[in-house]
Structure 1
Amino acid sequence: MEEMQGKVALITGASSGIGRATALKFASEGASVALVARRAEKLAEVVEMIEAQGGQAKAIAADVTQPAEIERVVRETVEAFGGIDVLVNAAGIIASGTIETTSLEAWDRMMDVNLRGPFYLIQCAMPYLIERKGNVVNVSSVTGLRAFPGILAYCVSKAALDQLTHCVALEVADKGVRVNAVNPGVVVTNLHRAGGMTEQEYAAFLEHSKTTHPLGRVGRPEEVAELIFFLASPKAGWITGVSCPIDGGRSQTCAR
């Protein structure tokens, strides 16, 4: 039986990577999905895939750094599907930079996308989540759990997202809303290339990452989507306030 039949999932970063895989997973389990990303043409492709399988999906092109657009995302989701049962914050960016090289502009951009956006989206969606006793899953990172040099702003943004997850989980537990995070290691997505890596650099990075993850390989978006789905499902009904590594064991090793 489809576990999310009749439920509504709002998923950011849904045009690619983990967000896209999550949207496809939720739709395959019967959920109506509102898909959010900046690239309308990429969202349309995901909607087409979902509808071809008999699912329901709505594309909402929006920038999660803009409060008015976040408000519109929530409004359009509720207008289309009647409420919100699950919020998945999967939108994110990465960039290289140290304490000596990170500009204020780069710092602010990282926090706007990776922290401020999820904060305000959770805040705007919360009345609907309370109404349906729903839940939130934030896509954090192994860098939220362990320090890594050279990606300072990214690490801090993800550590803060984890703490946001934990605090909000306690604040809304008595209202029946659960809030959790997943913390992936290196997963094959467009994240690092969008952050400035060339194809050659990315290929070398993936090869090196086989040595930094104890299981000897990098992850797939679909693997992370399965964990997100589990945490959002009734099977995880007694789980809240956790940051759950899905990283091939990397969080149990020293950063290298």
Structure 2
Amino acid sequence: MAQICLQDRHALVTGGGTGIGRGIALALARRGATVTLVGRRSAPLTSVAREVEQLGRAAYVVPADLALPAERARVLHQARAGAGLIDVLVNNAGMLAGGPLLWHDARTLERAVAVNLAAPMDLVRLALPELAVRQGSVVLVGSAMSYVPMPYATLYAATKAGLRAFGEALRYEAAAFGVHVLLVYPPGTATDLVRPLARPGRRSPALADPNAAGERVIAALEAGRTAQVWGMGERLLLGLNRLAPGLARRILFMARTRFLPTPYTELHHG
């Protein structure tokens, strides 16, 4: 695998204000990249931008709601205006709507598809010509649930499965243009997306540190990897799902009872 140098590259990170996105942005800055941070809320983006600048790198903030198609082209335009053509596009922003499917309305379903699947696909489509010119990279932050769906995370699992299929197909298309594609499947991480789902009175499963997760993502990119799954539990579950899918489903259901979503739990990172 060819090594990828990130020094003096321009990286755009969606969902860059919190959680894994923040960890990714800081890991990129430590490697000498300029970072454009995209998310719905200005305050956390500005905070992370200051952290990037403290590492000696330039940072740009573009507040946007990526569920809206018109916002995606605007984001790329503003990113180019600030820091030039994009070398690395990190699609990290996501939405987790917890609870049984019957608890959700059409608006929630449509937003989950827009944020988790349509937005990354559209951003890649729009950015691919310049990524080809720059011989750049696409990073798609997925989930082990794309392989082994979890009860009561139906929308999230389905959209992440779609993102995985998109990324695997894109890898071959993009290679023709010299564009590298990395799919990452981090373990359950202590982010604003997950913490509010913890069930009161029960011990929550161990969650990974988002800064460490961000570092792992960028280390995998730097190494030229095309896919990265980590977390002992995730690896074991994926292996078990191949060998004994019925047992894997039972384990998932028991694990899911540690969380108690409210009737309308809708959480975003980005």
TM-score bracket relative to the smaller structure: 0.7 to 0.9
Residue 187 to residue 106, structure 1, CA distance change in 2 (3 Å): same
Taking a change above 3 Å as real, the CA distance of residues 134 and 151 of structure 1, as seen in their structure-2 partners, is same
Name the counterpart of 2:134. Answer: 132
In the alignment, is residue 97 of structure 1 matched against residue 99 of structure 2? yes
Matched, 1:184 2:186: yes
Structure 2 residue aligned with 1:220, among 209, 226, 242?
209
TM-score by length of 2: 0.82
User: CA deviation digits over 1:23-58, x for unaligned, max 9?
Assistant: 011011100000001111111111111112221100
**Structure 1: how far apart are the matches of 2:187 and 2:6?**
27
Is 1:231–2:223 an aligned residue pair? no
Match of 2:115 in 1: 113
Structure 1 runs of 4+ aligned residues shifted over 6 Å read none
Cα displacement (A) at 1:181:
1.3
Compared CA separation, residues 3 and 174, structure 1 to 2 (3 A): closer
C-alpha separation in 2, matches of 1:13 and 1:136: 15
User: Separation in 2 of the partners of 1:176 and 1:203?
Assistant: 51
| Number of residue-to-residue matches in the alignment | 237
* Structure-2 separation of matches of 1:181 and 1:103: 30
* Aligned counterparts of 1:171 and 1:203: Cα–Cα separation in 2: 48
Q: Deviations over 1:33-88 (max 9, x none)?
A: 00001111111111111112221100111111112211111111112222111111
Match of 1:247 among 207, 224, 231: 231
Structure 2 unmatched ranges of 5 or more: 238-247, 256-270
- Give the Cα–Cα distance (whole angstroms) in 1 for the partners of residues 214 and 201 of structure 2: 23
2:29 maps to what in 1?
27
Q: In structure 1, the residue corresponding to 2:66 is in which secondary structure?
A: coil
RMSD of aligned alpha carbons: 1.9
SS in 2 for 1:93: strand
> Equivalent pairs: percent with the same residue?
32
Where structure 1 has 5 or more consecutive residues not aligned to the other structure, the ranges are 211-217
* 2:171 counterpart (169, 172, 175): 169
- TM-score using structure 1 length: 0.86
Give, in angstroms, the shift of residue 99 of structure 1. 4.2
